[in-house]
Amino acid sequence: MNRETMVENNIPQESLLQLRDVSLVYRALPALRNINWQLVSGQQWACLGPNGAGKTSLAKVISRQATHFSGEVARSGELERNGVAYVCFEQARALCERDRKLDDSEFRADASDPGTPVQALILGGREPDERFHSWTERLRMRHFLSRGLRFISTGEMRKTLLVSAILSEPALLILDSPLDGLDLASQREMQQVIAELLRSPIAVLMLCRQMEDVPAGISHIMVLDEGQLVACDTREAIMTNTAVTALMNPPMPPLGELPAPAARAYTLPATGPLLALRDVSVSYGDFTVLRDVNWVLERGTHCCVSGPNGCGKTTLLSLITGDNHKAYGQDITLFGVRRGSGESVWDIKQKFGQLDTQLQLNFARGMRVVEVVVSGFFDSVGLYDDWGDAQRSCAEQWLRALGLAGYSGEKFDALSFGLQRMVLLARAMVKSPVILLLDEPTLGLDGYHRGLLLRALDHIARHSDTQLIFVSHSAGETPACINQHLSFEPLQDGFRLVCREDQSAAAHP
């Protein structure tokens, strides 16, 4: 039975929060085990741990999003009065999902529901004041304050939630990997904001997936692994702890040989590029997203698409996957067929394998790992079709090839976030797609699992005929095989798309 207390004589005067023997079970699996921790006024904390360590579960207990825990949580009067603000990716997803459910476009004369404007979410019914204007100007938010939450980028949503949290003046602010999904300029802005917050009276708890993410302003670090508190000390002591370093950087498992390519139910033209867009523009009302885009993806090319938040990367991808009706009437050729000449969306989609964070968060629960991989044959989120020994064998071969052989019979839900991403990579590859489309594939991964994924992508590029389109907010850490860079570069009134070829990339042995 959990106990929540705020009795002043039940918590030391200098403490904001105490956790005593707190344990949490999530989907029948232990997420936290006997956590004892105290947050003292004046300290600034980070919670460090690899994917699956229990960081998010801890934040949910502290922020009262998880209530079915055992043990005791004691809060000071200040924490009860001013509360906890928790800024995380799941919060953004829940807000967008709510707006989707309330979408009434079909009943509106303009067939468009703008949803909840950014400014309305931040203010929560209050009038704009000096602090609102100061923060939104500082984070360069003016141009999207009137936009609906569903129509802003990942980075713009991060800024929105952070400003909303700061203006609520909480006693404790929890930031879950706040640099995720931000372009380089926005990361620098966010780092400056975090440094300022760590010098402010607000207590901060940062959830970090790698040691280099811990800011200098953090005074203390707790380290979690598989739901257990394995170390708790000052920043300097933790950062020089060899056991912590080993925990965060374990050895990588060996890769296996790729299975033989699966039979494809279609044929490709013998020659010509796979994708070609010529003078393509996309606008929504008065808002131009893409302007005069020219892009050709030749055979043997592995492309990195990069650009700042809100530049149009998602729109560009939707044109080539068949998801955007704005492709009709434009000069777009996909796999040798001019768009709008009679091909179906399925004809296009069957040639792509896709991996993105949204797919992972929405994936059907309760499935075994091998079943998740087999679902790639059917492009289904879940497994609803009959499948046989040949498909199981192919799925298990892909798991071995990516160093995941030991997880075939495990529950997908029980794996860490990083291992789930690797399993979904195997799922994307079982049908031998012509193009593997990776939309921010390293988002949410710690350093170890990021390394696993990038190594696996180079393995695929080197030993199969699948070509990669790797989408990132910045052209930073990418697979070595990338030999074409498509970058959105800012202009005074938008962005231009610049294509550069790199023939020195290691696409082949």
Q: Does domain 2-248 have CATH number 3.30.360.10?
A: no
State phi, psi for 19 to the nearest 5 degrees: -110, 130
Q: Looking at residue 117, what DSSP letter applies? A: B
Residues of the chain with CATH 3.40.50.300: 2-248, 275-501
**pLDDT tens for the chain, residues 1 to 509:** 566 654 444 666 689 999 999 999 987 778 999 999 999 999 999 999 998 899 999 999 999 999 899 999 999 999 999 999 999 877 877 787 787 777 655 555 554 557 789 999 999 889 999 999 999 998 889 989 998 887 887 778 888 999 999 999 999 999 998 888 777 788 888 899 999 999 999 999 999 999 999 999 999 999 999 999 999 999 999 999 999 999 999 999 999 999 998 888 889 998 999 999 999 998 877 778 888 999 999 999 999 999 887 788 888 988 998 888 888 889 999 999 998 887 888 888 899 999 887 676 666 677 899 999 998 888 776 665 667 788 899 999 999 999 998 899 998 888 888 899 999 999 999 999 999 999 888 888 888 889 999 999 999 999 999 999 999 876 568 999 999 999 988 887 778 889 998 766 554 44
Separation in Å, CA 66 to CA 32, 82, 361: 12, 19, 18
Helix (H/G/I), strand (E/B), else coil: 196: helix
What pLDDT shows up at residue 483? 95
Q: Half-sphere exposure of residue 255, counting CA atoms within 13 Å on the CB side?
A: 18
What pLDDT shows up at residue 6? 44
- Distance of alpha carbon 208 from alpha carbon 214, whole angstroms: 7
What pLDDT shows up at residue 18? 95
Match 């696996």 to its residue by tokens. 456
- Of 96, 310, 90, nearest to 186 (Cα)? 310
What pLDDT shows up at residue 402? 93
- Distance of alpha carbon 350 from alpha carbon 418, whole angstroms: 26
Q: Could you report the per-residue pLDDT of 481-493, keeping only the tens digit for each?
A: 999 999 988 887 7
What pLDDT shows up at residue 7? 44
What pLDDT shows up at residue 111? 47
The verdict on pTM exceeding 0.75 is: yes
- Distance of alpha carbon 176 from alpha carbon 56, whole angstroms: 8
What pLDDT shows up at residue 508? 45
Q: Could you report the per-residue pLDDT of 107-157, keeping only the tens digit for each?
A: 555 545 577 899 999 998 899 999 999 999 988 899 899 988 878 877 788
CATH superfamily of 275-501: P-loop containing nucleotide triphosphate hydrolases (3.40.50.300)
What pLDDT shows up at residue 70? 95
Q: If 0-12 CB within 10 Å is exposed, 13-18 middle and 19+ buried, where does residue 26 land? A: middle
State phi, psi for 310 to the nearest 5 degrees: 80, 15
